[in-house]
Amino acid sequence: MATTVSMTVNGKTVSGSVEPRTLLVQFLRETLGLTGTHVGCDTSQCGACVVHVDGNSVKSCTMLAVQAEGAQVTTIEGLAKGDELHPMQAAFREHHGLQCGFCTPGMVMSAVDLAHKVKNPSEDQIRHWLEGNLCRCTGYHNIVKAIKAGATAMQGGK
Amino acid sequence: MSDGGIGASVRRKEDARFLTGRGTYTDDINRPGQLYAYILRSPHAHAEIGSVDTSKAKKAPGVVAVFTGTDIAADNVGGLPCGWGVKSKDGSPMIEPPHPVLAQGRVRHVGDPVAAVIAETREQAKDAAEQIAVAYKTLPAVIEATDAIKSGKPQIWDAAKGNVCFDWHIGDPAAVDAAFKKAAHVTKIDIVNNRLVPNAMEPRSAIGEYDRGTGEHTLYTTSQNPHVIRLLMGAFVLHLPEHKLRVVAPDVGGGFGSKIYHYAEEALVTWASAKVGKPIKWTADRSESFISDAQGRDHVTHAELALDKDGKFLGLRVSTVANLGAYLSTFAPAIPTYLYATLLAGTYTTPVIYCEVKAVFTNTVPVDAYRGAGRPEATYVVERIVEMAAHEMKIDPTELRRRNFIPKDAYPYQTPVALQYDSGDYFSTLDMATKAADYAGFAKRREDSAKHGKLRGIGIATYIEACGIAPSAVAGALGARAGLYECAEVRVHPTGSVTVFTGTHSHGQGHETTFAQVIADKLGVPVENVDVVHGDTSKIPFGMGTYGSRSIAVGGSALIKAIDKIVTKGKKIAAHLLEASEADIEFKDGKFTVVGTDKSKAFGEIAFAAYVPHNYPIETVEPGLDETAFYDPKNFTFPSGAHIAEVEVDKETGTVQLMKFTAADDFGRIINPLVVEGQVHGGLVQGIGQALYENAVYDGSSGQLVTGSYMDYCMPRADNLPNFSVGTHTTLCTHNPLGVKGCGEAGAIGAPAAVMNAVVNALAPLGIKDLAMPATPERVWRALQGQKAAH
Amino acid sequence: MYNFNYHRPSSVADAAKTVQGAAEGKLVAGGMTLIPTLKQRLAKPSDLVDLGKIAELKGIKKDGNSIVIGAMTKHADVASSDVVKSAIPALAALAGGIGDPAVRNRGTIGGSIANNDPAADYPSAVVGLGATVVTNKRKIAGDDFFKGIFETALEPGEIVTAVQFPIPEKAAYSKFPNPASRYAIVGVFVAKTGSGVRVAVTGAGASVFRQKEMEAALGKSFAPDAVANIKVSPSGLNADIHASAEYRAHLVTVMAKRAVAAAK
């Protein structure tokens, strides 16, 4: 029942053999070895698996790999330019917006999507945007701070 | 102090890999030829297993093997051991039932492992598991501990009459009775400390691998303490000698206690990988975690506080029924006893205390330490009853607390429940918290809220915790079956960079940074030239891991001891090179100097000389610069603090909104303020979660975990919470070299009581005196309706 | 997840043919409910027919006095649509409150109403605004579309293609979310239209329903006070660990009152 799927991941065209039931996150982690995208739940709530598909944040555990045929996918591995952290990644580091690091890739990908859609998001907007991203370590305080700073930095502000 | 030393908010070294998706968590590891395990679990809370037919599953596509309890027993695989023994009041040992890796004839909770399918893919293993036919004969189940001890209830273990594991006590009951006779006022309270599911965001995972060439077994696992797993699994379960068993706990995505314990799946993949000759990976689905990770809390308590006419505490009497679940998890017996009742003095001079604890088996997932472990339960009892007493006696709650605080000059302070506090200053943290929270301005804020139809409340909790559990001999006398020391190795490389090997484990705490800061501070080596290695029994001499806020208090002390050895040896080498007496060498700011001269050698030069010993005191000093130290703590450390919560209650819906939270904590010396703040924030939200959102609810008759996913188990989210105000006031620990106390659990300990005190304070004008956690909307609404909560 | 055959047709006609021709065919729109269901092995379709590449099912337009939203339009697109925001702000707000941002980037209006989860938000807007559900076979009045728990008027092979929402004078949606799942424990959609007031309740019962007593009261006086004292009977309402039937009944009144106050 295997079928071939092709898509662009982090700027590179990739393809692989998958079953129709293979989730996008399984394709990323197991076929492509991009293990930065994590799985933290099975009810589509924790957001550890968030990636961008055609520029929008989606939960890669709730999308089939075959549904991403032809799509542009960006994962956490595709954010930084070489050794230079993306401004949102840098802001998470600066403001201690991560502890165990497991929810972090999903948090950062979600945050980047927010910053693309809302210029200078307020604390309230950030907190609501994170409705689909669970963190058990940080209490969110520093994540919210980091996203505010990261969103500003993404606009070229410092 | 070098840049980035003790006290600096150094940005974390580990972040770069986590932020770029390059962390290595267990499920990220794939071994050549790896197979996958799926565990078939009991759908019943209590049942006898008639037969397990695996014939169809064994023939399913991709299946390599199927194992059941019979296979485990045939191979003499042992049960999961318990690491702490507790004795009952009458001196008899606790009932210690077997804890098989796969069920032996009976299942005792939903999720109890019954069989394991090993297949080429995860999905194939799952597909095949559906082909296993298990003949269950269901038995009646019992869920609540207070129910399980009643007569005529289902018996979970034949040896545990009335389902009681042990009936333990501490304190002097006669002295407490006498104190109550003198009391001008007695406050009584009934408390349910709700069961919680730890929910580290990384689900548990384990990979077993066997090397036929060397005979070595390797287990990669999501553990907080790989050496403990090696000891327990090697010695008690699989009978493997330590030199042939390597346990690796790589990057671990949070633990909060739930990854301390030795779990069946670890033994299963290690054992099965040798059986089938290939590596085997198992990773839990989140719904599997809900029914297989040890859970936390679950106490039912009655407490009474005796006060004199001025509000001075005369005595405290506490009776608790603690739910242990179906089996004894690794450290379960210690939690509702030595980590709970010994904390009932709190921050107060209560002269006499008596506590009895009945620990009970039920048909639920085992209960063990979860962030705070016993101390949040104790703090909740003390701080709710103190708050209630203040209300009843019409004394301001801050004033009542101050009247009873242990005086600043009373340390060391011996409590009536075994502990001796070395230092603290509860007055200052309470002052700090009330100022930061604008306690004085609350009345005005309450009026403002009322104008919007909201009920506003403020609540205080002070707490004491006991961290860095130890000394080993004392813990051993109390039933611990392991040592509680820690180990550190400092390996100075020839060019002066340093690798630290620590027996503690970082799964979010930031040790790779904070331990490097200690090195930077003490040896003058920049943080970027220090690597901290943890989590691999083949690299680290030994270690007890990370739990109970012990890492800096115990592991940091071991590190200091190893550093001291490095400096001592360095002085000998420097004395030789500088042609001075060893006694005249001083080590400061990364330089060995002859006192009173400008003659000195840099740390790196000494390291180089140690490894290239051409001009060297070779007769008396060995080459090399690599020192290991073990540290056994002299006492617990006693972090403390004051937390203040402020809430608004929507009268129409019963919804509680946390408006403000202020924490003032005393953690002793702080290595990295940024990291410490992060630890406080995280702990607070787990405590706030317990108070407002989280509750593990089992169906009373079927024993199914109703809150078995994030659809029903309410995790705190960003939009539930305000920003926090946190601050610290420092008194140093007097018995460890860094003066550190630990900070990991504080938030989870103080917050539940502070939040619930605030909720009750908000509802008090309507005559409500008490409310059970969590303060869910319906529960609050029903209280407002004057009705009994349905749930 | 059990295995299945996967199809991605490019027209509604092909989709209908494929799903009907399969042993146990299932349509997938955004998949926000179906994929988790499949992951838990609670459904075992032989064939999955993905509507994601059918261009004719997407888009939002103003058509006379209604807003027409293609079935495969995502919640995020409805929430951010200037057309919807200016004509029916309550509908944009409702869409912007479904699930979370990542869910809104995949979930669709057609998928939501065809699934008819008793706690879903959209059904309340369809009924509350007196919308019409357009399928590949016919037009179905919103009032006749939702039949019961996870049950609709759709026949085998019938595919929702769009929903037509008449533009009201004013409307609002007020939701009391389940604290854990964030689905509606009770959601009340209130609309004042030229032909009267509609009050549609989701989350509280087996399926969305109209609260006629409140509609009558609001018909006389469109003000929060008009509904504040209307007691809803808990009989037949949903009950779970988060909210008893009695509490849900109470919340219907509170949410209705808040929706009326917020209507614009």
Q: Which residues contact B736 (CB under 8 A, 6 or more apart)?
A: B468, B553, B554, B556, B557, B633, B634, B637
For residues A61 and A118, membership in a common domain is answered with no
Positive or negative, the CA dihedral B169, B170, B175, B179 is negative
CA C4 to each of CA A27, B129, C35: distance values in angstroms, whole numbers, following the listed order? 17, 19, 12
Model confidence pLDDT, tens digit, residues A78-135:
999 988 999 999 999 999 999 999 999 999 999 999 999 999 999 999 999 999 999 9
Q: How many domains does chain A have?
A: 2
| Main-chain dihedrals φ then ψ at residue B496, nearest 5 degrees | 100, -5
For residues A68 and A120, membership in a common domain is answered with no
Residue B671: enclosing H or E segment and its boundaries?
Answer: none
B151 touches chain A (CB under 8 A): no
Taking contacts as CB-CB distances below 8 angstroms, the residues of chain A near C96 are none
Picking from A58, A78, A98, the residue at the C-terminal end of a domain is A78
What residues make up the domain containing A111?
87-154
Is residue A51 scored above 60 in pLDDT?
yes
Taking contacts as CB-CB distances below 8 angstroms, the residues of chain C near A64 are 6, 31, 35
Single pTM value for the model: 0.97
Cβ C211 vs Cβ C201: under 8 Å: yes
For residues A73 and A96, membership in a common domain is answered with no
User: Beta strands of B91-163 (E only): which ranges?
Assistant: 106-107, 113-119, 133-138
Cα dihedral B206→B63→A49→A10 (10° resolution): 110
CA A45 to each of CA A135, B292, B567: distance values in angstroms, whole numbers, following the listed order? 11, 20, 52
User: Beta strands of B174-312 (E only): which ranges?
Assistant: 185-193, 205-211, 216-221, 245-248, 280-283, 299-307
Model confidence pLDDT, tens digit, residues B122-151:
999 999 999 999 999 999 999 999 999 999
What SS3 string covers chain C?
Answer: CCCCEEECCCCHHHHHHHHHHCCCEEEECCCCCHHHHHHCCCCCCCEEEECCCCHHHCCEEEECCEEEEECCCEHHHHHHCHHHHHHCHHHHHHHCCCCCHHHHCCCEHHHHHHHCCCCCCHHHHHHHCCCEEEECCCEEEHHHHEEECCEECCCCCCCEEEEEEECCCEEEEEEEECCCCCCEEEEEEEEEECCEEEEEEECCCCCCEECHHHHHHHHHCCCHHHHHCCCCCCCCCCCCCCCCHHHHHHHHHHHHHHHHHHCC
Give residue B470's pLDDT. 77
**How many whole angstroms separate alpha carbon A135 and alpha carbon B584?**
53
CATH code for position A33: 3.10.20.30
Q: How far is B694 from chain C (nearest CA, A)?
A: 9
Is residue A35 scored above 50 in pLDDT?
yes
Residue of A100, A124, A130 for testing the chain B interface, max B β-carbons within 10 Å: A100
The predicted model gives A7-33 an average pLDDT of 97
Mean pLDDT, chain C, rounded, equals 97
**How many whole angstroms separate alpha carbon B281 and alpha carbon B271?**
12
Q: Do C244 and B653 touch (CB under 8 A)?
A: no
Give residue B307's pLDDT. 98
**How many whole angstroms separate alpha carbon C33 and alpha carbon C113?**
12
For residues A63 and A121, membership in a common domain is answered with no
Taking contacts as CB-CB distances below 8 angstroms, the residues of chain A near B747 are 139
Q: Give chain B's residues under pLDDT 50.
A: 1-2, 788-791
Taking contacts as CB-CB distances below 8 angstroms, the residues of chain A near B674 are 96
| Number of other residues whose CB lies within 10 A of the CB of residue B443 | 11
Q: Do B781 and C2 touch (CB under 8 A)?
A: no
**How many whole angstroms separate alpha carbon B458 and alpha carbon B661?**
10
**How many whole angstroms separate alpha carbon B476 and alpha carbon B488?**
22
Q: Which residues contact A43 (CB under 8 A, 6 or more apart)?
A: B286, B287, B709, B710, B711, C36
* Nearest residue to B637 (alpha-carbon basis) of B781, B729, B537, B737: B737
* Nearest residue to B266 (alpha-carbon basis) of B301, B315, B224: B224
For residues A70 and A97, membership in a common domain is answered with no
Picking from A18, A43, A78, the residue at the C-terminal end of a domain is A78
For residues A67 and A111, membership in a common domain is answered with no
Picking from A78, A99, A117, the residue at the C-terminal end of a domain is A78
For residues A54 and A116, membership in a common domain is answered with no
Taking contacts as CB-CB distances below 8 angstroms, the residues of chain C near B712 are 180-181, 241-242
The three-class DSSP label of residue B281 is: strand
Residue of B202, B678, B686 lying closest to A96 (CB–CB): B678
Q: Do B509 and A99 touch (CB under 8 A)?
A: yes
Taking contacts as CB-CB distances below 8 angstroms, the residues of chain B near C120 are none
According to DSSP, the residues that pair with B25 across neighbouring strands are B251
For residues A74 and A93, membership in a common domain is answered with no
Q: Do A99 and B721 touch (CB under 8 A)?
A: no
ipTM score for this prediction: 0.98
According to DSSP, the residues that pair with B77 across neighbouring strands are none
CA A125 from chain centre, in angstroms, equals 18
Cβ B552 vs Cβ B740: under 8 Å: yes
Give residue A157's pLDDT. 59
User: How do beta strands C5-7 and C47-50 pair?
Assistant: parallel
Cβ B338 vs Cβ B478: under 8 Å: yes
For residues A41 and A70, membership in a common domain is answered with yes
Q: Please name the residue of chain B whose CA is at the shortest distance from the CA of residue A82.
A: B20
Residue of A1, A47, A62 lying closest to C106 (CB–CB): A62
Give residue B1's pLDDT. 44
> Residue type for B253, please?
G
For residues A13 and A63, membership in a common domain is answered with yes
> Residue type for B449, please?
S
Residue of C6, C99, C103 lying closest to A66 (CB–CB): C6
A58 touches chain C (CB under 8 A): yes
Q: Do B25 and A38 touch (CB under 8 A)?
A: yes
Question: What is the Cβ-side half-sphere exposure of residue B525, based on CA atoms within 13 angstroms?
Answer: 27
Residue B297, both tokens: 């809390």
For residues A97 and A66, membership in a common domain is answered with no
Q: Which residues contact C46 (CB under 8 A, 6 or more apart)?
A: C4, C5, C22, C23, C24, C25
For residues A9 and A74, membership in a common domain is answered with yes
Radius of gyration of chain B (CA): 27
**How many whole angstroms separate alpha carbon B432 and alpha carbon B426?**
10
CATH code for position A106: 1.10.150.120
* Nearest residue to A58 (alpha-carbon basis) of A23, A29, A30, A8: A23
Q: Do B712 and C181 touch (CB under 8 A)?
A: yes
Taking contacts as CB-CB distances below 8 angstroms, the residues of chain A near C52 are 67
